[in-house]
Structure 1
Amino acid sequence: MSSSNNNNNKYCEEEEEEDIFYGRRNNKKKRMFEIEAFKHKVVVDPKYGDKTWMILEHAINQIYNHNASHLSFEQLYRNAYNMVLHKFGETLYTGLISTMTSHLTAMSQCIENTHGEMFLEELNSKWTDHNKALHMIRDILMYMDRTYIPSNRKTPVHELGLSLWTENVIHLSGIQTRLRTTLLQLIHKERTGQVVNRGLMKNIIKMLSDLGPLVYQVDFEIPFLEASGEFYKVESQNFIECCECGEYLQKADRRLQEEIDRVSHYLDTKSESKIVHVVEKEMIENHMTRLVHMENSGLVKMLVDDKYEDLRRIYNLFHRVPNGHVTIRDVMTSYLRETGKQLVTDPEKLKDPVEFVQCLLDKKDKYDEIISLSFSNDKTFQNALNSSFEYFINLNPRSPEYISLFVDDKLRKGSKGVSEDDVEVVFDKVMMLFRYLHEKDVFEKYYKQHLAKRLLAGKDVSDDAERSLVLKLKTECGYQFTSKLEGMFTDIKTSQDTMEGFYSTHGTDLGDGPTLAVQVLTTGSWPTQSCVACNLPTELLSLCDKFRSYYLGIHSGRKLSWQTNMGTADLKANFGKGQKHELTVSTYQMCVLMLFNNADQITYKEIEQATEIPSLDLKRCLQSMACVKGKNVLKKEPMSKDIEEEDVFLVNDKFTSKFYKVKIGTVVAQKESEPEKVETRQRVDEDRKPQIEAAIVRIMKARKVLDHNNIISEVAKQLQPRFLANPSEIKKRIESLIEREFLERDASDRKLYKYLA
């Protein structure tokens, strides 16, 4: 009873399988019915399995022989189904293996018998036949695949077919080695420029990939990578012996693209990273150091000659290998520091501060463009560039002075090389150099002096340009850095209002005599000047006294000191043959020239005694009026470039100029002399003392107790935006604060300081 029910249930299952196999879908409503037991016992023919298998075996043979068009796949499916149903699954499975093996053996013999280029063609043809046959066989044996194989832990039909193909065809000694060798030979031919059948290669390698990762790797990929490594090892060695760096990089780049292209055409996509790694290692990583240091073509030569394309290529290729960018960056940094050091210590460059700074800016522009165009604006390269500039700019202690002189040159009215519209661009570049400076307070000292001279002489290119730079400095360093600079602008505006008031009050009293334009400067805002007053001409003394009386009358409690070394004057002069000119001179020069109204010739000693101008300034003053061609309103006897105390001066009656107004500048060193440099350094050091003390007090007030090393470290860090504080100077300031009872040492530990509230 139970057996009959099982048989009938299986029959219903068979009907369901037929629907699945032939793609039909039964949407009719299922009817409920009962299955009755067979009235008699069903007996299966003992030879049923063999008979049915013979039918299926014949069908499989016909499929392999390309005669499957007359076969009834529905009937074949039923036969295979019934064999499994009636417990002949093992007969069906072993028979399938035997039959497929027989056909595959015959195929392998055909493949082995082919010669030359037909080998792969035949292999591909047989693989295609086997694949088609395998799909048909799998459809016929679908029920076995779904029931018998899982329950008996057998290999599914499709996987079985691939396994048998591998065993009976691919791994035959006569085929396996030949296949590997043929594929590698074809790839080698393609690498050497010959044309190969990429479609056939794709089919064969796809076959190996379909047979499983292990087959693909062992039979092709591993030998392929080994052969590729040997190929590129030899080729890279040949290239590097005969090619320049740029040419070598082009070849390496082309080889990389070829291998990537090869993968896209016929290799497994998983092989791309592996073959690319082989090329990278053999052609780039193994020769990286030699490439960047190649004489006359390496990285340094590329940087010198602005070879943007080659630099971009070396950057992109070296990015592929470990430490590639580090190697490029190290060479670039080393070269930058070496050439930068040569620049800032070159005696010829140091003769002209403006040219010196312009060379720095040109160098910065050059490498900024290289990093932008060739190194993808890589931040690590930009940081290396900044650190290199910071290193060599600060090797020259006069860099702050020279940068200020450069700014002064660009901001002076009438200066060559930059228009007012380009001033902002120049400022942005100068601010970059300013950021590199360790001693920003030294720059401030010089900048204040140069700004003062521009403002007092009215030689600034524009008020807006001056204020723009001050604003940039304020943004960079804070209000304290620029507060005195802004005070200088305020004084100039206030002085204009003062002079308007003076002339409105005393205008009628002055008559036709000389006129006076005074700029009243606040002592704390302007650069400290040693107040050495010279003897002014009598024509000016009464006018100066009137202004003093007027000013002190409207401002009580103030004191005026004349800074004659900072003034200018316009003089009308008559020379021989009726030549008349208006001379624009300094106050010192005016005092000297006015002496010649009462004398034809005067000795140096007499001039010095009459004017009381400091000796160094007087020599410069006389040099500018007697030794400069085109400006020589005086003659000197004996004639020489240097001013001696025995020299005699007289008016040059033969002086001529095509201009009515003639400006006679003072011969001054564009940069400070050694004594002036020492004096400026002393003033800077004096200005630093209160800043260091203020930083110490701020830190100790917050921390209360701190040891010596930490206070040195924190003070240096806090003052770093303005200057690099010397540890010995910090120590002196600590001692000074202890003496004045701001701090005290701990009784038990002398390296520990306490803040005294």
Structure 2
Amino acid sequence: MCRSAYNMVLHKYGEKLYNGLESTMTWRLKEISKSIEAAQGGLFLEELNAKWMDHNKALQMIRDILMYMDRTYVPTSHRTPVHELGLNLWRDHIIHYPMIHGRLLDTLLDLIHRERMGEVINRGLMRSITKMLMDLGPAVYQDDFEKPFLEVSASFYSGESQEFIECCDCGNYLKKAERRLNEEMERVSHYLDAGSEAKITSVVEKEMIANHMHRLVHMENSGLVNMLIDDKYEDLGRMYTLFRRVPDGLSTIRDMMTSYLRETGKHLVTDPERLKDPVEFVQCLLNEKDKHDKIINVAFGNDKTFQNALNSSFEFFINLNNRSPEFISLYVDDKLRKGLKGATEEDVEGILDKVMMLFRYLQEKDVFEKYYKQHLAKRLLSGKTVSDDAERSMIVKLKTECGYQFTSKLEGMFTDMKTSQDTMQDFYAKKSEELGDGPTLDVHILTTGSWPTQPSPPCSLPPEILAVCEKFRGYYLGTHSGRRLTWQTNMGTADIKAAIVRIMKSRRVLDHNSIVSEVTKQLQARFLPNPVIIKKRIESLIEREFLERDKADRKLYRYLA
């Protein structure tokens, strides 16, 4: 046969051969169309697929037989190549045959609908049919199947989404939308052309997400705010993943989150009950920051635009309360004075890092500096700080954030403390014999301008203390010429140990109220002692066996020494 075909082309009968092939295939395909048309029910697609397979095999054989004609006559005569001719004739006489065309589309769409409703269909057969349409040319697949498929899908998902949103809460609706989206992508991978994926997912996204996203985020008792309040990371993550697929989806979530954060934060910082406890006030802010940092990290993929929205919200409401700088400083003061129970240095460092996040939001950082300087001074002068390392770490953080000028006076305070320590060691080394067994003095030499200044009320020092102070003044001015000392007694502390014992030593036996009265009378020229402190000192003297309670009257005390 190959030789005969070759000879016909060689002897200029190529046109006759080509025309004969076209007419024969046309006749044959018209016969095949009747066979396919006659197939009933589920046999329709199977018959179509079987005849398509046969046609492909026959076409392959015909192309091999007419290879010479395909290589010589077809190009020179500008005719359609044999294989392409066979496909075009199949398209025109089978796929576009009126009794097959509409039926084929209806059958394919019905099977997809049934699969969407949970039925199992023959995916292999579907794959063969859609591949046939693609083999006939992308235009055939798109015009004869894909366009109506997308239109029907839009109608289906429009109705289903309306049904779901009327009966589901936000979380469950998102689960259904996610499942439908995954099903469509799986459908494409099994039996549709890969190019259909973006188109069908776009349909699902528009009908199930874009058209309902505002209603979803505002859903009462289950929308975005409830998810944020209840830390529903899975639902929030699903919302983020789905909404990011549609225009303005993420901005819808972000705007709602920002509105919620600002309203919640405004209530928090203006609540009179919260303002009663500065430490609790700041802890609430830190808890809110930690909570939403975790949500953004876990559910929103650490999206920088969401982090920026969180930061802008905190900056907005923290500055609504003009006491925020003071409260943040008081929080640091509490942690650096008391520390955390069982906390390591790393734990304290972590707390300071979190505080610095709040500090960055403050618009009036100079107000914070004013309060921080006062609180730091009290910690340093009273010796009540968890560690110098923690104190210096905080200074370094502030310096990194605001520059040297912001912390220069704070650093000067630490320098003064070290200088004072060295000075006192030298003072006692040189003056120990002169001082004898009198009261001990610990002086802090504070550089004017570095430390917070407060008006110092008049203070009458006991002669014993005044004598030691004068000895120190003479030592210091003799060591450092041209300097001036001013005593800031209001910034100091004193331990009085010499009043209860002195009274009991002379009176021997006294009741509790009399002791309180006598101690108050003797000390009121210098300060007014707290009765609670007097009671604690009495109990301490009992423990150390200076005093004892009378066995008959528990409110009566006896001197033992």
Length-normalised TM-score, structure 2: 0.91
Q: Which whole-Å CA distance do the structure 1 matches of 2:138 and 2:483 have between them?
A: 97
Map 1:325-364 onto structure 2 (within 5 A).
Answer: 325-364=250-289
1:221-620 equivalences under 5 Å are 221-413=146-338, 418-572=343-497, 575=500, 602=521, 607=524, 610-611=525-526
Structure 2: distance between partners of 1:283 and 1:413: 55
SS for the counterpart of 1:571 is: coil
The amino acid across from 1:300 in the alignment is: V
Match of 1:625 in 2: 530
Cross-structure match for 1:720: none
> Which letter does structure 1 place at the counterpart of 2:56?
N
CA distance in 2, matches of 1:244, 1:579: 77
Q: Which amino acid aligns with 1:526?
A: W
The match for 1:215 among 125, 140, 145 is 140
- Kept in 1, the 8 Å contact 2:459–2:489? The answer is yes
Deviation per residue, 1:285-339 (Å, 9 max, x gap): 1111111111111111111111111111111111100011111110111111110
Would the aligned equivalents of 2:339 and 2:348 in 1 still touch at CA under 8 Å? no
- Report Cα offsets for 1:559-604 as digits up to 9, x if no partner: 1111111111222266499999xxxxxxxxxxxxxxx99966659x
Query: What displacement does 1:391 show?
Result: 0.7
What's the counterpart of residue 746 of structure 1?
none
* Structure 1: gaps of 5 or more residues: 1-75, 581-595, 612-620, 634-651, 662-757
Counterparts in 2 of 1:414 and 1:431: CA distance versus 1, 3 Å: closer
Alignment map for 1:631-650 (pairs within 5 Å): 631-633=532-534
- Quote how far apart the aligned CAs of 1:505 are: 2.1
Shift of 1:419: 4.6
User: Which deviations, in whole Å up to 9, do the C-alpha atoms of 1:116-156 show, x marking residues without a partner?
Assistant: 00000000011111111011111111111111111111111
CA distance in 1 between partners of 2:540 and 2:180 (Å)? 72
Question: Following the alignment from structure 1 to structure 2, what is the Cα–Cα distance between the partners of residues 463 and 163?
Answer: 88
Answer whether contact 2:243 2:250 (CA < 8 A) is retained.
yes
Question: Do residues 98 (structure 1) and 30 (structure 2) align?
Answer: no
Tell me by how many angstroms 1:531 deviates. Answer: 3.1
Alpha-carbon offset, residue 415 of structure 1: 6.1
Distance 1:143 1:356, change over 3 A: same
Q: CA deviation at 1:380?
A: 0.6
- Relative to structure 1, the CA distance from residue 186 to residue 414 in structure 2 (aligned partners, 3 Å threshold; closer, same or farther) is closer
Flag the 1:577–1:489 CA change in 2: closer, same or farther, 3 A: closer
Letter in 1 for 2:71: R
Deviation at residue 511 of structure 1 after TM alignment: 2.5
- Aligned identity (percent) is 69
Q: Are 2:47 and 1:164 aligned?
A: no
Query: How has the CA–CA distance of structure 1 residues 526 and 213 changed in structure 2, closer, same or farther, with 3 Å as cutoff?
Result: same
CA separation in 2, counterparts of 1:575 and 1:456?
Answer: 27
Distance 1:259 1:513 in 2: 92
CA distance in 2, matches of 1:308, 1:544: 65
Name whichever of 409-418 and 289-298 sits farther off: 409-418
Aligned residues of 1:420 and 1:461 also touching (Cα < 8 A): no
The structure with the largest alpha-carbon Rg is 1
Query: CA–CA distance in 2 between the matches of 1:564 and 1:270?
Result: 84
Work out whether residues 533 and 563 of structure 1, in 8 Å CA contact, stay in contact via their aligned partners in 2: no
Give the Cα separation in 1 of the matches to 2:280 and 2:144: 68
- The residue type paired with residue 530 of structure 2 is M
- Say whether the 8 Å CA contact 1:394–1:437 is kept in structure 2: yes
Q: Choose from 113, 122, 127 the match for 1:188.
A: 113
What residue is the counterpart of 1:642 in the other structure? Answer: none
What are the residue-to-residue correspondences of 1:47-86 with 2, within 5 Å?
76-86=1-11
Q: Provide the aligned C-alpha RMSD in A.
A: 2.3
Q: Which residue of 1 aligns with 2:539?
A: 656
Query: 1: distance between equivalents of 2:127 and 2:409?
Result: 79
Q: Are the aligned partners of 2:340 and 2:348 in contact in 1 as well (CA < 8 Å)?
A: no
Alignment partners' CA distance in 1, 2:11 and 2:200: 54
1:150-170 CA-partner distances (Å, limit 9, x unpaired): 111111111111111111111
Distance 1:202 1:568 in 2: 90
Give the distance between the partners of 1:653 and 1:324, measured in 2 at CA. 65
**Aligned residue type for 2:64:** D
Shift of the 85–225 alpha-carbon distance from structure 1 to 2, 3 Å rule, reads same
Match of 1:569, SS state, is: coil
CA, structure 1 residues 417+573, in 2 after alignment: closer, same or farther (shift >3 Å)? farther
Q: C-alpha distance in 1, partners of 2:225/2:342?
A: 30
CA shift in 2, pair 1:285/1:208, >3 Å: same
How far apart are the structure 2 equivalents of 1:513 and 1:322?
82
CA distance in 2: counterparts of 1:353 and 1:660, whole angstroms: 37
Contact 1:427–1:469 (Cα < 8 Å) also in 2: yes
Helix, strand or coil for the counterpart of 1:528?
A: coil
User: Do 2:499 and 2:519's aligned partners in 1 also have CA atoms closer than 8 Å?
Assistant: no
Say whether 1:89 aligns with 2:14. yes
Pair 601,427 (structure 1): closer, same or farther in 2 beyond 3 Å: closer
Distance 1:362 1:579, change over 3 A: farther
Structure 2 unaligned spans of 5+: 506-514, 545-561
TM-score (structure 1 length as normaliser): 0.68
Aligned-partner Cα distance in 1 for 2:79–2:416: 102
| Cα offset, 1:87, TM superposition | 1.6
How far does the alpha carbon of each residue in 1:618-676 deviate from its partner, in whole angstroms, 9 at most, with x for none? xxx74x714xxxx242xxxxxxxxxxxxxxxxxx6995369969xxxxxxxxxxxxxxx
Q: Please give the per-residue CA displacement for 1:670-720, whole angstroms capped at 9, x wherever unaligned.
A: xxxxxxxxxxxxxxxxxxxxxxxxxxxxxxxxxxxxxxxxxxxxxxxxxxx
Q: Greater RCO between the two (CA within 8 Å, min separation 6)?
A: 2
Tell me if the contact between 1:341 and 1:395 (Cα under 8 Å) persists in the aligned partners: yes
Give the counterpart letter for 2:186 in structure 1: D
Partner Cα separation in structure 1 for residue 38 and residue 171 of structure 2 = 50
What displacement does 1:533 show? 3.3
CA contact (8 A) 1:579 1:656 kept: no
Aligned to 2:558: none
Amino acid at match of 2:257: M
Equivalent residue of 1:262, what SS?
helix
Q: Distance in 2 between matches of 1:449 and 1:120?
A: 87
The CA deviation at 1:366 is 0.8
Distance in 2 (alpha carbons) for counterparts of 1:300 and 1:508? 74
Cα distance in 2, alignment partners of residues 559 and 265 from structure 1: 91
Equivalent position amino acid for 1:469 in 2:
M
Identify the range of structure 1 (540-549 vs 503-512) with the bigger mean alpha-carbon deviation.
503-512
In structure 1, the residue matched to 2:510 is: none
User: Which residue of structure 2 aligns with residue 736 of structure 1?
Assistant: none
CA distance in 2, matches of 1:599, 1:373: 66
Q: Which has the higher helix share?
A: 2
Q: Distance in 2 between matches of 1:96 and 1:371?
A: 68
Q: Distance in 1 between matches of 2:108 and 2:519?
A: 107
- In structure 2, distance between residues paired with 1:250 and 1:113: 44
Q: Say whether the 8 Å CA contact 1:410–1:417 is kept in structure 2.
A: no
What is the match of residue 152 of structure 1?
Answer: 77
